[in-house]
Each structure stands twice: as structure tokens, then as C-alpha cells.
Amino acid sequence: MKQRLVVIGNGMAGMRTVEELLSAAPDKYHITVFGSEPYGNYNRIMLSSVLCGEKTIEDIVINNRQWYLDQGITLHAGEAKTATHIDRKNKIVAAQDGTMAGYDRLLIATGSNAVIAQIPGNDLEGVISFRDIFDVNKMLSYSRSHKKAVVLGGGLLGLEAANGLVLRGMDVTVIHNNEVLLNRQMDKPAAKMLQTELERRGLKFNMAAKLQRLVGDELNHITGVCFDDGSQLDCDLFIMAIGVRPNMALAQQAGIYCERGIVVNDTLQSYDPSIYAVGECIQHRGDTFGLVAPLFEQAKVCANHLSAHGAAEYITLPTATKLKVTGINLFSVGDFHGDEQSESIFFTDPASGIYKKLVIKANKLVGAVLYGDTADGSWYQQLLENKESIATIRAELIFGKAYVRDFNV
Amino acid sequence: MSKTIQTTCPYCGVGCGISAKVGQSLHQLEISGDVTHPANFGRLCSKGSALGETVELKGRLLEPTVYGQHGSWTEALDLVANSFSRIIEKYGADAVAIYGSGQLLTEDYYVANKLMKGFIGSGNMDTNSRLCMSSSVAGHKRAFGSDTVPGCYDDFEQAEMIVLIGSNAAWCHPVSFQRIRAAKEVNPALKLVVIDPRRTASCDIADLHLPLASGTDANLFNGLLQYLSKHQALDLAYIDAHTEGFADALKAAAIDLEQVAAVCGLNKDDIQRFYDWFANHKKIVSLYSQGINQSSSGTDKVNAIINCHLATGSIGKPGCGPFSLTGQPNAMGGREVGGLSHQLAAHMDFSSTDDIERVARFWNTQNIARKPGYPAVDLFDAIYDGKVKAVWIMGTNPVVSLPNANKVKLALKNCEFVVVSDCIKDTDTTALAHVLLPAQGWSEKDGTVTNSERRISRQRALFDGSGNAKPDWWIISQVARRMGFEQEFSYQSPVEIFREHARLSGFENNGTRDFDISAFADITEQDYQGLQPTQWPVNQANPQGRSRMFEDGKFFTVSGKAQFIAITPCLPVHSPDQHYPLILNTGRLRDQWHTMTRTAIAAKLNQHKAEPFVELHPVDAERYGLLANTLAGIESPWGSMIARVQLTDSQQQGSIFVPMHWTEQYASHGRMGALVNPIVDPISKQPESKHTPVRIKVYQPVYQSFILSRRELNMTMPDYWVKIKGQQHYRYELAGMSLPENWQDWAKNKLCDSQGETVQWQEYQDAAGGHYRAARFVNNQLESVIFIATKTELPERSWLTSLFAKTALEQGQRRVLLTGKPPVGVADVGTIVCACFNVGAKTIQTAIKSHGLKTHQQVGLCLKAGTNCGSCIPEIKALL
């Protein structure tokens, strides 16, 4: 008799766990998946590629509904199938429309929600976030009928949204509360180069700006934004891209221990031994997650335990950043700002659009920012994870792996 | 339309013939060896071959300069003539002097000498040949009664044994050395012995190298004389018939083999071998050069060698003889006209009143000098002391080449009137001149030179004179006329001077003087133009010249017999002591010549040795804490220099070597002349440039740097610098004793960055690692690079310098440029498909083929491609 696994969340983390599980223990579970979007499973981080027209929705589908059928997975997808209740005592999950599924093991992969700026007017029509296919479709429809867009947040998502909207013909201004774009992923010089490149592509920037409120018309539709200094900017579309927050409401409601996210141990198990959680909804050793690489690693570890192999432990490694804007290569990993104990190595070739910075501490690589030439990003990440001494290759390090002779990593 | 002109090389005394193909466009020149010239039969060394690169106008002195301002010839000549006349009138003739050069053509030399000794009436005409072979002149004179080189180059092929003494001919007389090498290949029995404290490139083909202690040559040859005597190897008949003084010489040479070994620091067996060979061969040529001449007992060393040849009768015969290799293209010509201050003219000197009267008669002058003037070192001392108040320096660079050169510099600085004739604008000496007179250089001037084997060859003009440059003979004649000697200096062309010179050589000669070219006394202009290389004497008895002298055993002494000189060997004057424990040896490099004014213009000649360096034994390096390729400061009681350390066991412990070439035009601290002790041979007055006690220590700059720049940079130089002209670039080696505040600013300042719009910068900084590097591009063409290191060594320059030949850099080259090393042979990965793991299309295609991959998952397992963000999976699928 197969055990029952219920997965709440049909996103990248949950489904990668299922895929890993199917390959590790194909016959162990009967799997039921609840998803609030009415599709199979798609690559959310490629949404910006869809927005800018490089890919279609079909291109980014990972598993279509047929796949679920083929794998014998019961898929409950659509808004009405949003899971609304976990009955931990009876081990049953209930959806909005009353659909229920009993479990022996439950996997929560509810992801995250966009942070909504707490400013007047944030509920106006035309104010959206950039999280799913629904948002992308809305942005595409606006781009066909409207001219001006404002993106709040010069982070990865905000810049990808802004770039997509520019490519779709809109006049886009990015408002960022810092002088440095991608300030969590880039240092100032790299960010400056990025900004210059994006400006060349038609993006406008309003840096270190303080937003006061959003202004709407009589139809409650956004018409512009007001800044603290009294200046204004017209817009028809306003994208919130100032970060995400773990979506843990359901878990909290079920009494599962949460802090900033659903707290899990190194095996991705929550405080309820039957319930696992992966992805952006979790908190592991104090960290929450927003990038894809750790999610996949979590999926691997979680599947290892769900399949009762039970040996893997999840360790959070420094995560590298990439911006999905065609023709712009940037990469960062680790502590690329450095501190008093660290040493920095720079390579700059502005005319070639290249900037590199490596941060060294006690002869070990602890951080890297690459702009323009990111070919060695994964090698630096490897060096950083392996914590190997780079003393003997320091002179060539910034020029890349191909250049470091007689050094095998 | 190009034409080919036969001329002679302006470098060493081998005197190679050159076939110069002169192109249509300005200063286009193709150089090859003249296959008909008996000095080289078509061979040329690296320096001669590069002559075509040295005729550019950049850096040439082309206009007269008077007190720093451009002046006309009239103004400049008037000033020189008036100043000389005024000083002579006030202080006497001995208050003025001319300091000439072995670079002057015979005709130029003749006129200068005639002016000073014949008409100004002072002996104060000396020349840089004083530094080069005056010990040979003196030795010849003592032994033969004349300054005669007995043999010829043909003797190299005919010899059974060649002894190279104090000569690195492989580098300093390369074509002669090649001739020896070729002779040895044809005749493997030909023995080559090299006697030199250093194991030089000339030892490459030597059968025996005797690395004797510096300055002990006379002991070795005294020992040889003794040995020859003990082993019945003397030619007693020859000694008896043609020589005098043998008994005294042998008595003075009372030294046995053991003692020689002890004094010379040589292995007894090696000495024995050399002595045996010398005793058992009839045909021996002893080639010697500066290692013998530049010594406080140089004349004695020359005679110690000649003694052995006289004692075995191996002189004046094919394949025999002592043979002085001269260092300059016309050192011999200078001797012939009397360019040394103790000489008068045409191998006559002040020691004979008859000679003085004869020359006065010939020149028709009442004002002839009657006593020797100051020899070079004394001359500059006299300038320093204010005894000589006006000096005219012609084609030489005494601020670099003379011993105690800082004193020379000071002497000229304080001298009332300094005139310099040169073809190069900026030299260490022209910097101190009040009047600069632009002389025609090689390729423009026209006249004759004499090489080491007494062979007179034509140096012909290949181009018209550049700018306002004039032949030296013209300049000197113009000054002479203005000083009141219109009649005597009315020359219109070199041939007129040559005829007069030839006439003087035969004037009342009657076989009493070796130098006699009276056959040329009436040479026509046409014959002079077509003059073929000819060995003097050229007179009635020898109308076609003569290969060997003294074949009849007759010499130019009073008795007609050659003189043995009793030699009591002297060690160098200054011995190393606890304060200055090392011996400094100086000498030439293969690809540079003298003070580099010409050779440093040819980029290819700067590749061999780019920077002033010091060679020392690894054990000494250990002793003084010096590492290879670092900088060392060398100090003597007279001055100091900084040089790059090169370790070699070809250098003896306790002795170091530095090249003689660098000047302040190319290096901040490369002037070796500043260190050399101002000690001279009491007879020849030649300085002891091969032996100065010095100490050496680490020169520890806080940073080192190099710049390669397509443009010549007009930057403020740091504490230490060397400038090197390369192929399409200039290279600057820099070091400093204090750190600048900001490397970026420093670099931009040094590279004279004008922040032009088209200029692109690339930078590499590792402050903690002590690195700053930058490159400057114009349209992706490398414009300059700067490398700075405070802790580690800088990378090799070779690959970087090669990039200046390219009109644009490939991306791969540009990316790794600042490593200083070429890109490694990275396989082409193709367009990057998986950006996360940097996997390219070509890599994926190769893997699909070789592993038979079917799915993107398999590709992922194999290459990791597509296993992170997965965004490339469609492309991977497309490749599948």
C-alpha cells in the first residue's frame, strides 16, 4: 500500500521535490498536489523572459497536466483549489472549494508573496506586483494600451520587469530607494555600469527617491506618483518589486511553528514531523530564500528524506545572483563588500563593459562581483564554497580559471 | 630607383665593409655585408646589420645651438673662433683643448690635429682612443719603435693557435670572432686559448680558458717567457739577429709555474698546457684588447705579450704575431694623424725635435706645439682645475666614458667655454655645452677610416647631409679660418685633406717611419671616390699596400732591432679592501656600442640586454643578500650606480661586471664611468677601467614598475628609471623609494593621459597584494601598459611588447593583457548556452556526440548544463 504525500504549492520548489522524489522512490507515494494557479508547473524565474518576449508561456512550462497524469499525480489546480486548511490531527488538507486530501506526509511549498509598499494609493487599479503568469499577462495587456510605467524597486525582479516593459514599448522609470541598483547583489561600480547599460536601453531611473503616495483618477486608476520632495511622475502602471515575504499563513493557521518563515531543520522538516516545507516559505537557520539555487538544493534534501533514504542535510551556501536581461551579464556571490579584515582585487575595463571585484579574507575567496564577464562566476562560487586557499593563484585569480595554470578546481 | 654604395661600418675596429642599398624615399636603407671587403667578406654583426634603423632624423642635432638658442652657422663659428682666440690670447695656447674621437674620419681628425698642434700651438689634442688602445700604441712604440700592428686578419686562418687575451671578441669584434670560428671549423687542430677573468661568450669555442685573477696578465706572460726559455722553445737566431734586451727581459721574468699559478689564481695544469702549446706551435696570433690595455700597467702587459712573440720569432710571418684589436672604426686613423696628445702627426711625436721641425716645415707654421698636451684624464682634470678654459669635444661622450665621470661632468659644468660637435642632440655631454655644432653622421659624412689590420677603407656618404649638419673637417676648417689660418685650412673636399695627409706621411720619410701612404699623395678625386680597402704602407715600395710588417726583421727603432722590455709586473693600483671588497670590471655588450647614442635607436639591438645590469657570482650574491633580477647599488669611492642583478658563475667570486654603455639619456643610474677609478698607466696614460674596488648592496625600492608605451613619454621620472626603445614602443623600467598616494593618478600622470575621448582604460588592482596595472587603448589598439608591484616581481615583458605590433587586440588578449602572460590554449567552448555553469554550445555538442546523450537530463548529468536555473533547457533540447 502506497503512502500518501500531499504537496501544497505547485511551484518550482514543491515540484522539484516531487521530481527528485519520483526519481529516488517512484513507487513510494501516491501524490496529490494543490496549486492556486490553473496550470501545470512552470519556471517562475523565466517570467521576465516571457514579459520581454524572448519566450512564450509554453516555453517555460516545466510539466504540463499530461505529465501529472503520466506520473499518477492528482493535481488540484486553480484559484478554487487553493489550500485553505490543514487538519494536522486527522492529517487532511482542505481547499477553498472543499476538495480534501488525506496525507501521511505533507509538503508545504507555498512560496512567497510580494511585499506591498505601505503608502497611500497602493490599492489603486494598475498597481500590481510581478509574481506569476497572471501578473505578466496584466503587464502585457497594459503595455498594449498604455504608455507610462513606474517600477518600484531596483532589485533583480524590478529591473527585469522594467526591462521587459521597455521592450514592450513602454516608457519606464525605476524608482529605487538607494543610490546603488541591485544593492544587495552589486557594489557601486558594477551597479553604475549596469545602470548606464540599462539607460542605454531606454530605462529611466529615479535613484534614492522617497515615494510619498500614489495618485489615482476618479475611476480609482493610478495616474502618477508623488515624491517626498513634491515632485511628481505620471504613470499608467505601477509595479511593486520591493521584495518578497514567505507565504506562511496556512502553516501559521495550522499551528506550525513559524518565525519569519516556516521554521525547518536541516532535513527540511517542520516542527510537525509529518510536515516538510521547502522553498521561499521556509526559514532555515535564520535564513529565508528568494533565489532558485537553494530551493533546488532543498528539494534534493527533502526528497532524500521523503524517500526514506534519510541521509542528506541541507546547508545554506552562498548563492550567486544573475540578472535575466539578455546581453547583461552580472554575477555576485558571498561577501562582496568586504570589511576591514578583507582585501579586494579589482579588474575594470569600462570600454569593454567589464568590472570584476574579488574579496579575499585570510587567503580565501569570500565574495565576488562580476559585471560584463561572468564566465568564471561558478568557478569563484566553487572556490568560495570549497574554502580553498587561493594564495598561490592570487595573481591570476581575477583573470579566470582558464588562466590559472596548474590549478585544478 | 635605388643605388648600392660600398661603405664601412661605424662601430668596432674590425672595419667591416658594408653594401648599402639606398632607397628612393628619405633615409630608406638596406644594409648587407660587402662580400668583396677583406675585413668581413660579407659578414656583419648584429650592430652593423641594424644600421639601417639608425639613420632616422629623430634625435639628430641638425642646427647650431648657441647658449641653448638656435643659431646660424656664422654666429656659432664666429663665437667658437673668437672665444678660442680670446682665451688663447689671455691665458696662452694651452688653455684650450680639443677632445676628439675614434669616430672621426681620418680627414676630420687630421684637420683638428693640425689646427691644435700646428697652428694654435698646443699639444692639447687628445681623443677617446686614449681610453681604448693607447697602451697598445705605447707598447708598440717601445718594442718596434713605431705604432705598428704587424699582422693581418688572414693570419687567423693561417695560425695554429690563437690566444685571445682580455678580449671578448665574440661580442666586441664579432665578425673577427666568426672568422676564427670558421677557421677552427675548417682546421679543427687550430687551438683557441682565452685568457680572461670572465668566462665570456668567446670561451664558447675555446680549447682552454684561463680565468686569471684580474690584472695578472704580465705575470702569466713573464712566466711564459721563462718557460719558453727553460724548454728550449726560443728562436735564439731571431733574438740574436733582430732584437735587443732579451737577457734583461728574461731576468725580470724570473717566475716559475708555481708562482704564476699562485699569483694568477690559476690551475697549474692549465698554465702548463697553455705554455706547452705556445712552446710547441710556430704560428701563434695573440689577439688582445681592453683587458690588456685598460690597466695601470697596460703598456707593460702589451710588452709582456710582444716579448714572447719576439722570443719565438713569431712575428712578421704568416699566421703569427701580437695583434691589438681596436675598438673604434677609426682608432687607427686617429693614431695615424697624431690624434693622441703625445703624438704630433703621421706617426711622428714630440719626443723628436727633428719630427717637430719636419712637421712645422711641412705645415709651414711658426706656431707648432713643442711638447705633449694633456692626455684625456689629465685634460679633464685640467679643465676641472681651470687650467684649460675652453674645450671642443668632437663626437664623443666623456661624461659617460671617462673614469671618475662625475668629476668630468663637474669640470665641464664649470668650464668657461664648452663646444660639442655631434650628430646626436641629447647626450650627457651635449647637455653641458655652450655651443653645439651639428656634425654629419655615418651615412652622411665622407672620408676614410683605418681598421685594426691597417686597412684604409672609404666611409662614403649615402645621403645628403641632414638639416644644417656639416662635415667635421668643414666645421674645424671654418673655425681655423676665422682664427686667422685661412690659407692653411682652405680645404674644399675630403680628398684634398687626404692628399695632404698622404704627403705628410711620406714627407722626408725615406723608410724611417712605418706609416707611409705617399702613394696617395696625388690621388685623383675619382680614385679617391673609388678607393678600394688597402693596408698601409702604400708607397713606392708597396704600391698595393702590405699585409704584414717586419717580415725582414727590421724595426723602426734607432738600432733597427726590436726591443725586449723587462717587465716587472704590477698589480692594479687600488686593491679591494674591507670597505670596497669587490673588483669592478667594465666592458661592452654584444648589441650596444659605446654610449648607445646610435645603437639604442635600433629597437632590435635593445632586446638582448635592456637594462643596466651587474653580473656577479651566486656566492657573492648570497654574501651580499642579492637576489637575481633585483636591483643593486654599486659604490666606489668615486661614484655609484644602480643595476639589475644577474647571477652567473662565469663571473669569478670577488669580481663583478657592468656594461659600459648606459648614459643619463637612457638610465637614471647607469653611468658606470662614475665609479671607475681615475688611475692611468704611467706610460700610456690609459685608465684602469677594468679594475676598481667597489661594494655592492641591495637597492630596495618600495615599488617597481614598468611602462610600455607606443608614444615616447615626457614624464617626470621616479628615483630609478631606464628607457628602452623597442619595436613600435618605448619601455620604461621604473622604481621608487616612496609610494605615491594614489596609483591611478600616478599611472595617468606617467602615461601622460590627456583623457582623450578615444582613450580607453583597463585596470587591475590588488592593493593588499601590492599590484596596480593598467592598459590604455585607442580603438582597441594597445597604446600603453603600466605595471606596478610593491611586493612581488613584475611579469615578463616579452609578450606584452609583442602586442604593440598589432593594430587591434583580440578579445582574449585584451582580457588577460594585465596578467602580462599570453592567453592559455583554451578550447573554444562556443556560444555560452548554460550561463550558470558556463557551458558552451560547442562543449554540449561534443558531449552529445561522444557520449551519445539523448535527453537534456543526460546533458545535465554530464556537463551540469541546464541543472541550475534551467533556462537553457530549450536550447539544449534544440542542440539534441
CB-nearest to A403 from B766, B811, B816 is B816
Contact at CB, B762 and A349, closer than 8 angstroms: yes
Q: Is the pLDDT of residue B218 over 90?
A: yes
**Where along chain A do the CATH 3.30.390.30 domains lie?**
330-403
Domains and CATH numbers, chain B: 65-132+330-535 (3.40.50.740), 134-324 (3.40.228.10), 582-698 (2.40.40.20), 703-819 (no CATH), 832-879 (1.10.10.1100)
When pLDDT is averaged across residues B284-302 and rounded to a whole number, the result is 97
B840 or A396: which leads in pLDDT: A396
CA distance B747 to B715: 10
Contacts of B832 in chain A (CB under 8 A): 375
Q: Which residues of B86-115 are buried (b: 16+ CB within 10 A; e: fewer)?
A: ebbeebebbbbbbbbbbbbbbbbbbbbbbb
Pairing of strands B125-127, A3-8: unpaired
Cα(B319)–Cα(B298) distance, integer angstroms? 24
- A324 vs B contacts (CB less than 8 Å): 871
- pLDDT score for A75: 96
Q: Which residue of A has its CA nearest to B817?
A: A399
Whether B291 and B254 have beta carbons less than 8 Å apart is answered as no
CB spacing of B792 vs A395 below 8 angstroms: yes
Interchain CB distance below 8 Å, B819 and A346:
no
User: Does residue A365 carry a pLDDT above 80?
Assistant: yes
CATH topology of domain A3-113+244-306: FAD/NAD(P)-binding domain (3.50.50)
Residue from B742, B755, B761, B765 to probe the interface with A (highest A Cβ count within 10 Å): B765
Instruction: Extract the C-alpha cell encoding B631.
Output: 636591483
The shortest CB-CB distance from A46 to any of B768, B792, B871 is to B871
- Check if the beta carbon of residue A281 is closer than 8 Å to that of residue A110: yes
With contacts defined as CB-CB under 8 Å, which chain A residues touch B818?
A: 347, 399
Given CB atoms, is B777 within the 8 Å cutoff of chain A? Answer: yes
Residues B660-713 pLDDT 10s: 999 999 999 999 999 999 999 999 999 999 999 999 999 999 999 999 999 999
Nearest to A343 among B768, B792, B824 (CB): B768
Burial (CB < 10 A; 0-12, 13-18, 19+), residue A399, is buried
C-alpha A323/C-alpha A133 separation (Å) is 19
- pLDDT for B875: 77
Q: Which three cell numbers stand for residue B639?
A: 661614484
CA distances from A52 to A44, B314, B872 (A): 14, 97, 16
Under an 8 A CB cutoff, do A351 and B824 touch?
Answer: no
Q: Cβ–Cβ of B824/A405 closer than 8 Å?
A: yes
A123, with CB counted inside 10 A (0-12, 13-18, 19+), is exposed
Give the residue from chain B lying closest to A331, CA to CA: B836
Chain-chain contact of A322 with B832 (C-beta, under 8 angstroms): no
pLDDT the model gives residue B873? 73
- Residue A184's pLDDT is 86
Domain A127-240 carries which CATH code?
A: 3.50.50.60
Query: Which chain A residues have a beta carbon less than 8 Å from that of B837?
Result: 378
C-alpha cell at B678: 681615475
Q: Which residue has the higher pLDDT, B794 or B534?
A: B534
H or E segment at A303?
Answer: helix A292-306
B760, B826, B835 ranked by CB distance to A351: nearest: B760
Give the whole-angstrom CA distance, residue B719 versus residue B740: 12
Give the C-alpha separation, B518 to B538, whole Å: 6
Q: What is the pLDDT of residue A407?
A: 46
- Decide if pLDDT at A408 tops 50: no
**Residue A69 main-chain phi, psi, to 5 deg:** -60, -45
pLDDT score of A318: 77
pLDDT tens across B442-490, in order? Answer: 999 999 999 999 999 999 999 999 999 999 999 999 999 999 999 999 9
Per-residue pLDDT tens for B195-214? Answer: 999 999 999 899 999 999 99
Give ∠ CA B513-B148-B194 in degrees, rounded to 5: 175
Q: pLDDT at position B1, please?
A: 58
pLDDT for residue B220 is more than 70: yes
Average pLDDT, chain B: 94
φ/ψ of residue A18, rounded to 5: -65, -45
Cell numbers representing residue B377 in the block: 684624464
Number of CB pairs < 8 Å for A and B?
Answer: 99
Who contacts B538 (Cβ-Cβ below 8 Å, separation ≥6)? B456, B516, B517, B518, B519, B520, B544, B545, B546
pLDDT digits (tens, 9 = 90+) for B50-78: 999 999 899 999 999 999 999 999 999 99
* pLDDT confidence of residue B869: 62
* Contact call for residues B242 and B314 (beta carbons, < 8 A): no
Instruction: Report the pLDDT averaged over residues A259-263.
Output: 96
The DSSP secondary-structure symbol of A80 reads: G
The answer to whether the CB of B722 falls within 8 A of the CB of B705 is no
Chain segment A373-393, per-residue pLDDT in tens: 888 988 999 899 889 899 989
ipTM summary value = 0.82
What are B395-435's pLDDT values in tens digits? 999 999 999 999 999 999 999 999 999 999 999 999 999 99
Q: What pLDDT, in 10s, does the model give residues B517-536?
A: 999 999 999 999 999 999 99
Rounded Cα gap, residues A220 and A124, in angstroms: 6
Q: Write down the residue that cell numbers 495587456 correspond to.
A: A141
pLDDT digits (tens, 9 = 90+) for B644-659: 999 999 999 999 999 9
pLDDT exceeds 50 at position A213: yes
| Global pTM value | 0.86
- Among B766, B782, B813, B824, most A C-beta atoms within 10 A, so best to mutate, is B766
- As a whole number of angstroms, the distance between CA B672 and CA A194 comes to 55
Residue B21's DSSP bridge partners are: B4, B30
What's the maximum distance between 2 C-alpha atoms anywhere in chain B? 110
Give A402's pLDDT tier (boundaries 50, 70, 90): confident
Residue type, B518: S
Chain A residue whose CA is closest to B875: A59
pLDDT at residue number A405: 60
Over residues B802-807, the mean pLDDT reads 89
CB contact under 8 A, A346 and B832: no
Instruction: Write out chain B residues lying below 8 Å of A338, CB-based.
Output: none
From-to residues of CATH 3.50.50.60 in chain A: 3-113+244-306, 127-240
C-alpha cell, B406: 662625475
A356: which chain B residues are within 8 Å (Cβ-Cβ)? none
CA geometry: angle B293, B295, B301, nearest 5 deg: 60
Q: What percent of chain B has pLDDT over 90?
A: 84
Nearest to A45 among B814, B832, B869 (CB): B869
Q: pLDDT category, A128, cuts 50, 70, 90? A: very high
pLDDT exceeds cutoff 80 at B757:
no
| Residue B4 burial (CB count, 10 A) | 12
Res B841: pLDDT: 81
Query: Is residue B321's pLDDT more than 70?
Result: yes
pLDDT, position B638: 97
How many Å apart are CA B612 and CA B663, to the nearest integer? 10
Q: Under a CB-based contact definition with an 8 Å cutoff, are residues A233 and A173 in contact?
A: yes
User: Are the C-beta atoms of B845 and B879 separated by less than 8 Å?
Assistant: yes
- Preceding peptide of A189 cis, ω within 30°: no
Q: Which of residues 807-826 of B touch A (CB under 8 A)?
A: 811, 814-816, 818-819, 821, 823-824, 826
Please give the Cα distance from B512 to A35 (Å, whole number): 123
CB-based contact, B874 to chain A, within 8 Å: yes
- Enter the C-alpha cell of residue A337: 563588500
> What residues pair up with B20 in beta bridges, in sequence order?
B5, B31
- Of chain A, the percentage scoring pLDDT greater than 70 comes to 99
Residue B833 reports pLDDT greater than 80:
no
Neighbours of B374 (CB within 10 A): 25
Average pLDDT over residues B15-22: 95
Residues 6+ apart with CB under 8 A from A232: A215, A224, A225, A226
Q: What is the mean pLDDT of residues B158-183?
A: 95
Query: What is the sign, positive or negative, of the torsion defined by CA atoms of B417, B421, B426, B427?
Result: negative
pLDDT tens-digit series, residues B141-159: 999 999 999 999 999 999 9
Q: What count of Cα atoms within 13 Å lies in the side-chain half-sphere of residue B396?
A: 27
State which fold the A330-403 domain adopts. Answer: Enolase-like; domain 1 (3.30.390)
Task: Decide if B815 and A373 are in contact by the 8 Å CB cutoff.
Answer: yes
